[in-house]
Amino acid sequence: MTIDLTKITTPFGLLDAKTQEALKAHGGPYDVWGINGWIQTEWPSFAGLSVYRVRPAPPKPRECWSYGAHIRDTEAEAIAFRQAVADANPGNGYELSPITKWIEVLP
């Protein structure tokens, strides 16, 4: 059985030997559960009563594409929308209007 090392909620001493070894071998970064929730630890002692996990990767920033004020999930959708606007309004230059890419900035 493969366990997700980022989702451990069991004290280290109660984990099976295989999971304990996998956690140690991972190399981190690690979190330890404390009274204020998960905190990063640089030097885990792997004490039996403490709960350790591999620190989860940060979420991927969301991306979207915009044609004017019209937001689309993919660049292809934004291009198709721009073309539909241009087709409905021939000669207005809408097909030349830029499509911009937006990326969420995470703290």
Alpha carbon separation from 94 to 54, 70, 75, 76, 77 (Å, rounded):
50, 13, 16, 16, 15
Residue 37 host element (H or E): strand 37-41
Structural domain boundaries in the chain:
12-54, 63-103
User: Cβ contacts of residue 90 below 8 Å, gap of 6+?
Assistant: none
Helices (H), the chain: 17-26, 75-88
Q: How many C-beta atoms surround the C-beta of residue 26 within 10 A?
A: 15
* pLDDT number for residue 35: 92
* pLDDT number for residue 96: 80
pTM for the whole structure: 0.60
Instruction: Name residues of the chain where pLDDT drops below 50.
Output: none
